[in-house]
């Protein structure tokens, strides 16, 4: 029995769930004004780039799974690429022999978010981008109260800030405290220029050129020409059928197939009761099997990614046969940290949106471009450097991506949208949401409030670690897992290490829209 922190939001005309209440409010206003789910999601995403600037912003990248009411899902890949100088040799010459740097100019890829907003709106939106940026511009210019998470993020990451970032987030050299008013005037002006001049200003215009010139001047692999050349792609979702649902996720270069494959592997097992040892054991073991394919995931424009084979019934059956329902196999691989926003929305017409956007780690690269106020991502940290690695950095290549949004269709209609923050821990959290929603039949808020597990070390991987279960789980579950051979320990309830997720649902039978927001975030789900 899960004790919920709040009621599931329910309405007849629209629903949105985000990790910050100001973003949810902005999205709801768009829905109430007649906008659709995509319009609302983009308005909310823009606000999150202001009020949660350590998590996301227009210096980052994005994936969106969109399903219109006709039941034909599609995916927009708005992730960024390496620059013309983005080679292993160039990175090694800068003093990084084995791994990409986590921070600094070499860790940046082209920011794809703004182009993604525009391209998505052109195909599925009902509003223009300028009309959706108003709330974000107002908050950036006039200010907003600092949340505890933002204050903590600035404190923990300020050592990585360049001067422009320090001046923005630490005025007078002081870390803002909870409730202090934070303003971002340069960021507001960049958003205003995008609204006024169109997205060209972000790429081959003044803002994009400022980004490229600054990165080139401080040793990055990106140039102004690389920023100007950015494109996004519409791609077919990767699909797995299980337990009466069709789960649709972003295909590679995203690693979202890991959690959907794991859910497919579980289709042959009795999961028992939620939050018990049997269900947790099987979920962990299924992920161990799906993770065998992780190194094959890369940018399919540069590497052979046998997606059809990896998602085939035969491959899933082969993996399923290796799972012992009573005994743990080798230890699981731990998750690297990451900060991201995930949000989802649905509208009165039956359209559904699953959107994820990120700077990768907190405050991304730590590099803010002077004069434009844009914090840049550190997504290039996810490339490999080793020769022969399908994920090795190369000019124009996208890295293997931790962003893993999901959507589930029932009888050919969009039923659930869900996803989470959490870096490489996202597959762990999303698999639990698959099971809570699709296998155990939980409503959105109950699915989010349920105790979760992750794999330690959550912030020091990848490395072998124990299952870390939130303390609300029963002692019998812990003892049962240990009896199967798992290393298990408990962590704080509602731990940030277990992601910050959101869920929306369309109950087609009753004509009701439902939503839930994670108590591990500052968010709410709102419906009307």
Q: Is 126 a catalytic residue?
A: no
The H-assigned helical ranges of 391-510 are 426-434, 444-449, 475-483
CB of 283 closer than 8 Å to CB of 262 = yes
Residue with tokens 């509003």: 127
CB of 502 closer than 8 Å to CB of 524 = no
Number of CB atoms found within 10 A of residue 246's CB: 18
Active-site choice (8, 18, 168, 340) = 340
Token pair listed for 165: 């970032």
CB of 278 closer than 8 Å to CB of 271 = yes
Bridge-partner residues for 506, per DSSP?
Answer: 513
Bridge-partner residues for 145, per DSSP?
Answer: 181
CA 83 to chain centre: 23
DSSP for 42-106, written as a single string = HHHHHHHHHHSTTT--TTSEEEEEEE-TTS--EEEEE-----TT-SHHHHHHTT-SSS--SSSGG
Can you say whether residue 493 is alpha, beta or left, with left for phi > 0 and alpha for psi between -120 and 50 degrees? beta
Just list the catalytic residues: 340
């Amino acid at each position: 029995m899960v004790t919920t922190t709040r009621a599931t939001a329910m309405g007849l005309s629209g629903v949105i769930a985000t990790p910050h209440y100001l973003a949810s409010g902005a999205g709801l206003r768009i829905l109430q004004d007649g906008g659709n789910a995509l319009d609302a999601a983009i308005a909310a995403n823009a606000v999150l780039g202001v009020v949660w600037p350590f998590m996301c912003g227009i210096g980052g990248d994005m994936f969106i799974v969109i399903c219109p009411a006709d039941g034909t899902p599609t995916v927009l890949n708005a992730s960024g690429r390496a620059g013309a100088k983005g080679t292993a040799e160039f990175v090694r010459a800068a003093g990084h022999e084995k791994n990409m740097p986590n921070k600094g100019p070499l860790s940046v890829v082209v920011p794809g978010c703004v182009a993604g907003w525009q391209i998505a709106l052109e195909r599925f939106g009902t509003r223009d981008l300028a009309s959706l940026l108003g709330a974000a511009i107002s908050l950036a210019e006039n200010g907003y109260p600092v949340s505890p998470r933002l204050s903590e993020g600035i404190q923990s990451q300020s050592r990585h800030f360049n001067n422009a970032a320090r001046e923005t987030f630490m005025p007078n050299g002081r870390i803002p405290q909870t409730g202090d008013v934070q303003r971002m005037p340069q960021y507001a002006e960049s958003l205003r220029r995008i609204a006024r001049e169109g997205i060209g200003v972000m790429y081959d215009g003044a803002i994009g050129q400022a980004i490229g010139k600054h990165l080139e001047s401080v040793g990055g692999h990106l140039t102004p020409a690389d920023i100007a050349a950015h494109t996004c792609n519409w791609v077919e979702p990767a699909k797995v059928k299980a337990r009466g649902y069709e789960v649709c996720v972003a295909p590679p270069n995203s690693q979202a197939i890991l959690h959907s494959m794991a859910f497919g592997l579980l289709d042959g097992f009795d999961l028992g009761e939620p939050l018990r040892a049997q269900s947790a054991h099987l979920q962990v073991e299924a992920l161990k099997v799906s993770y065998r394919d992780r190194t094959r995931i890369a940018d399919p424009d540069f590497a052979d990614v046998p997606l059809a084979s990896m998602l085939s019934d035969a491959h899933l059956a082969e993996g399923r046969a290796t799972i012992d329902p009573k005994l743990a196999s080798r230890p699981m691989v731990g998750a690297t940290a990451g900060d991201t926003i995930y949000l989802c929305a649905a509208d009165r017409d039956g359209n559904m949106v699953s959107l994820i956007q990120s700077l990768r780690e907190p405050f991304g690269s730590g590099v803010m471009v002077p004069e434009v106020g844009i914090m840049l991502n550190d997504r290039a940290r996810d490339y490999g450097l080793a020769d022969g690695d399908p994920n090795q950095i190369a000019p124009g290549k996208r890295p293997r991506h931790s962003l893993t949004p999901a959507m589930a269709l029932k009888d050919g209609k969009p039923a659930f949208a869900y996803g989470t923050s959490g870096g490489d821990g996202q597959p762990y959290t999303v698999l639990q949401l698959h099971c809570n929603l699709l296998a155990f039949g939980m409503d959105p808020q109950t699915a989010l409030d349920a105790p979760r597990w992750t794999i330690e070390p959550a912030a020091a991987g990848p490395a072998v670690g124990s299952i870390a279960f939130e303390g609300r789980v029963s002692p019998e579950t812990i003892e049962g897992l240990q009896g199967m051979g798992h290393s298990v320990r408990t962590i704080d309830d509602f731990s940030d290490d277990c992601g910050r997720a959101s869920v929306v649902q369309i109950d087609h039978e009753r004509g009701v829209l439902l939503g839930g927001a994670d108590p591990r975030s500052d968010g709410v789900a709102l419906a009307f």
